Structure formats: C-alpha cells, structure tokens
Amino acid sequence: MPQYRSPVDDTLFILNDVLGLQGRSNLSGFAEATPDVVEAVLREGAKLADEILAPVNQAGDREGCKRHPDGRVTTPPGFKAAYDAYAGGGWMGLSVPEEYGGQGLPQVLNIAIQDFANGANLALSMYPGLTQGAIAALLVHGSEEQKARYVPKMVEGTWTGTMNLTEPHCGTDLGLLRTKAVPRGDGSYAITGTKIFISAGEHDLSENIVHLVIARIEGAPAGTKGISLFLVPKVLVNEDGSLGARNGVTCGSIEHKMGIHGNATCVMNYDGATGWLVGEANRGLNAMFVMMNEARLAVGVQGLGQSEVAYQNAVAYAKDRLQGRALTGAKAPDKAADPIIVHPDVRRTLMQIRAFNEAARALVLWTALQGDILHRAEDTKERQAADDLMGLMTPVVKGVLTDRGFANAVEAQQMLGGHGYVEEWGMSQFVRDARIAMIYEGANGIQAMDLIGRKLPKDGGRAMMAFLGEIQGFLKEAGEDEAMAPFAKPLQVATGDLQQATMWLMQNAFADPDNAGAGATDYMHLLGLVALGYMWCRIARAAQARKAEGRDTARWEAKLVTGRFFMERTLPETALRLVRIKAGSQTTMALEAEAF
C-alpha cells in the first residue's frame, strides 16, 4: 500500500525561518500562534492526515461513491469515520473567527493543514475543503442571520457546503447561465435548473448540505450582470435550528471520472427548491469570486499534495528496488544489484520533483500569508499591498502548481516502471487524482487569462511592480553575500526574462489582444518560475542561517543542493517561455477554424 507522511518539519521551517511567522504578531490571531501552538497544530494535523485520511485513500479510489436509486449517495468505506475525525478535531474552523465556533488562527496554518490532508487523501479532503470555501463566502456576503444559522454547524462539520456554478451549456462563460430564481414574496426564492460537476453535491458524511447556487432572478439583466447567489440547503432548517423538511434539490446522477472516485461529482436538479439570496441581487458573481479565490489557492495546494505523495512513494521504491549497477561502480556490491536511486536519471527525476515541492510549499504559504495580512492587518497600505500580491499570485498558484504537480506525479509514477501503471501500487491514483486540479475552479487556461487580462493590468500594473520591487530588494541585499550568488544570479536572469515578457505584452497586446492570449499560459508559467525561484532564494538564505548554527548540517546542506538544482535546471525555462511569448499570435491564429 502506498505510504504518506505529512511534511511537518519542512512546513515548520518555512513558517518560522522563511516567512518569519513569529514577527507578525501585529496581525490578529497571530499572537496566539506561538511557536509551540504552531508546532502542536501541525503535528496533530499530520497525525490526522497520515493515520486517518491516508489509509482510506486507495480503497476510496477502488470503491468510489455510489448513487442509489432513491438519489442517496454513499461514500466509500471508511470515509465517514475519517471525515468525522476531521470535523471532530476542529480542523474545519481552524482559521474561522471564534464567534462562529472556530479557532481564529491564521489562514496560513489552515493552508498548511490542507496541504497535509490533500497529500493524504484528495477525494476526502474536498468535502471539508468545499465547506471551508462556502463558510468563507457566507462570512463575507451572508446576512447576520445566515451566518448565525449556518456557519457554526458548518464549522462543526455537521453540515457541509458546496458551490454550484456550472450548467451543461455553461462552464467558464457564466453569462450563459439559465438556472432561475423566482421570488416567493416571503423573502425566499424558488430555484429551478440543472447544475453539473457539483463536487460533494450529495453524500452521506453530513446531516445537511448547504448549497451555494448561482441563478438568475426572473427579469434580471442578461449576461453576468444578472447573476445572483443563493443559499439552498438540502434540508430546510427550522426556526430553532433543527432540521425540517427535505428541500426540492436532488442528485440526478454522479459522473464516472478519471479520478477522485471518493468524491461524488453530481448532477444537481433544482426543482423549485427554496433558496435565500446571499448578498445583493445581481451581484452574485462578486460573492462567488470570494469563494473562488479561496478555492483556487486550495486547488493549487492539491497539485502540490499529489506531487508530494507521489514523490514520497517514488523515493521509497527507488531506495528499495534493485536493478542494474551505478555508472561509477557498484554501490551495493553485496546485493544482486544496486538500488535504482544510484542511477542519475532516477536522481534527476526525484530532484526535479523535490526541488519543485519545497519551493511550491513556500509559495503557497507565502500567498496564504498575504491573505492573512489582507484580512487581519490594521494598516490600509499593508492590506492593499497584500491584496495586490495575493490577487497576482492566486492564478499562478492554481495554474502552475497543478500543471507541475500533475507532471510530477507522472514523473514519479515513471520511477516504478510497470508497477507504476498497476493500480495496486497507488501511483496511478495520484496521477488520476492530480489531473482534476488542472481543470476545476477555472481550467488553467482561464487562470492564465485571469492573470494576463485582469491581474496584470489592474491599477496600472501595481501588483506586478510591487512583486518585482520585492525581488529586486531581496537581490540587492543578497548581492553582498557571496554564498547567495548561486541563487541570486539565476534569479536575476529569470526576473529579467519576466520583465522583458511583461514589457512585450504591454507593447503588443494593445495592438492585438490575441498577442496576450497566445502568450498567456507561457506568461503564467514564467511568473510561476520566477516566484518559485524567489522562494528558493529565501529558503536558501534561511537554510544558510540555520546551517551556520552548526546543527543538522546535513539537512541544510541538502536544502541548498536542492535549491541549486532548481536554479540550474528548472529556472532557466524562463528563457523558453519568453521566446514563445515574443513569437506572438501570428502562427497561432492564422488558420481558419475549418483548417483544423
């Protein structure tokens, strides 16, 4: 059976040494996150992930969810108990304000726990993950009554949440939405329509499911300006908070998918179901965007999680499997053959994944920290700067971490040869599960368009200028440190590529917006590479400081070697991305559709 261990020590190092969590006590909730508390939270979260969630992952894939003729959906064996442990441990509300039953701790800690849980069991972690997204939307846009009535139960995990956007004819382009809401005159609406691809839309883990549904109020404007957000519980809630009658929403079928078999992907039929408006009428997309930004960061973390678990299992196999001899002479002469980890091509693969994972973890936590600053800082300027950086980096974390996370899972699978292709060994599941993260919450091409069309030009490019400024500041400081040269110099080069690409886009996208579109994905990856390279620089600086303390020297040496591998072999890809962007849209767009 595949194995998994949450990367607790690496996460602690990033939080404490790289991001300096302890210097952030100006942020509300951070003073409570003392070093002891942070470590205890991570170690407990790891226990949940490693001992409760991971062991039911493979059976979850094999058994999958089942829809019964009466519309009920049952989750795989062991999922209910594991979910109860998740909810019962208070994990759902880790960073939810205490007034709603949460613990008010930093969101960055919550994201660290999500990373652990995703690596352990993606399909299962989606149930609480979606619930957290729904909680976030309600906390920002819900009425006081909605918050009081629904959020505590969701924080407990007694009720779960979903988001309902997609319809058969309308995925990315929500303006085409048809689900309609008819006011009933008593403050409620009758919701009617069909939603598809609804993750966790129906299941047996919770007593109630709080669906957040976008729909068009009768007579609302066409397009995205006529979309409203509604709260539609599976079971209606009585005045006293107890459960009442079943609402008019049912699961029509579940999809047979490539992966995440343990999570029910539902067709949801709304047949005059009772719903309540969340936030203002016709402003539903804004409310949904809150949920989507949370969700996009979380999905990026899913990419990382699958990359990590696949890596761990590839390493275990590479140390164990005896095959061939090292090119430089036998390393285990007493055995029939050397373990395959001696082979440079195996090493290259493992180093590549590892070097990505460690930087990606830092990037995810760095981005989550911007979210904390945005929501918890006193200072307006500080909040705005964090908002800028988080907005800029959200599509990058989502797009790049899931693209690479999937590619890494594939590479890790390759290390097992034929065994990687056989389901028994678990690698195929990591690949199949990782695949969804590139698609949902806005396919990665959409992330690239969000980056280039919205985030980059916003406020005259303020976010990108701030990001480049932060890197330049770091490089200036690091420039005086000879030991940092193997990190700082490649980052300087890569940042130059990013600047050139940004300039080219500014000059050429105006004349022809297709020039931006044709380069969008390359630009997203270019920015992702620079961000990861920047993280490696910060990691290297922190590792050098720790190494100088003279303890655990091998650990810090390994960090620095891994970082140099990234700078030498992964980061130079920025040049290729720049070449592609500068190629423009001519050959991309030249053919008539009929020529395809």
**Catalytically annotated residues:** 441
Q: Which of 237, 466, 468, 576 binds its own copies (CB under 8 A)?
A: 576
- Residue of 59, 76, 74, 435 lying closest to 257 (CA atoms): 435
- The residues facing 164 across adjacent strands are 213
297/372 Cα distance (integer angstroms)? 13
CB-nearer residue toward its own copies: 276 or 556? 556
Q: Does 319 bind its own copies (CB under 8 A)?
A: yes
Q: Which of 237, 281, 439, 468 binds its own copies (CB under 8 A)?
A: 439
Read off the amino acid at residue 460.
G
Helix (H, G, I), strand (E, B) or coil at 479: coil
393/397 Cα distance (integer angstroms)? 6
Q: Does 591 bind its own copies (CB under 8 A)?
A: yes
CB-nearer residue toward its own copies: 127 or 197? 197
- The residues facing 189 across adjacent strands are 183, 275
295/497 Cα distance (integer angstroms)? 30
Distances in Å between the Cα of 387 and the Cα atoms of 257, 283, 377 are 36, 21, 11
Closest distance to its own copies from the beta carbon of 225 (Å):
15
Scan residues 477-536 and list those touching its own copies (CB under 8 A): 512-514, 516-518, 520-521
Give me the helix-helix angle, 485-508 and 573-582, nearest 10°: 10
The rounded Cα 151 to chain-centroid distance in angstroms is: 22
Q: Does 580 bind its own copies (CB under 8 A)?
A: yes
Indicate the pairing of strand 208-217 with strand 228-233. antiparallel
Q: Which of 12, 140, 443, 468 binds its own copies (CB under 8 A)?
A: 443
The first and second tokens of residue 110, run together, are 């919550």
Scan residues 271-310 and list those touching its own copies (CB under 8 A): none
Q: Does 337 bind its own copies (CB under 8 A)?
A: yes
Distances in Å between the Cα of 166 and the Cα atoms of 193, 419, 442 are 11, 37, 11
- Residue of 80, 390, 392, 68 lying closest to 254 (CA atoms): 68
Q: Which of 271, 379, 424, 552 binds its own copies (CB under 8 A)?
A: 424
42/5 Cα distance (integer angstroms)? 12
Q: Does 436 bind its own copies (CB under 8 A)?
A: yes
Q: Does 344 bind its own copies (CB under 8 A)?
A: yes
The rounded Cα 366 to chain-centroid distance in angstroms is: 13
Closest distance to its own copies from the beta carbon of 496 (Å):
15
Q: Does 259 bind its own copies (CB under 8 A)?
A: yes
Q: Which of 295, 448, 478, 498 binds its own copies (CB under 8 A)?
A: 448
198/183 Cα distance (integer angstroms)? 24
Scan residues 191-230 and list those touching its own copies (CB under 8 A): 196-197
Q: Does 170 bind its own copies (CB under 8 A)?
A: yes
Q: Does 575 bind its own copies (CB under 8 A)?
A: yes
Scan residues 239-258 and list those touching its own copies (CB under 8 A): 255-258
Closest distance to its own copies from the beta carbon of 530 (Å):
15
Count of residues interacting with its own copies (CB under 8 A): 96
Q: Does 426 bind its own copies (CB under 8 A)?
A: no
Closest distance to its own copies from the beta carbon of 465 (Å):
24
Q: Which of 149, 153, 354, 398 binds its own copies (CB under 8 A)?
A: 354
Closest distance to its own copies from the beta carbon of 294 (Å):
20
Please say whether the beta carbons of 159 and 153 come within 8 A: yes
Q: Does 27 bind its own copies (CB under 8 A)?
A: no
Q: Does 9 bind its own copies (CB under 8 A)?
A: no
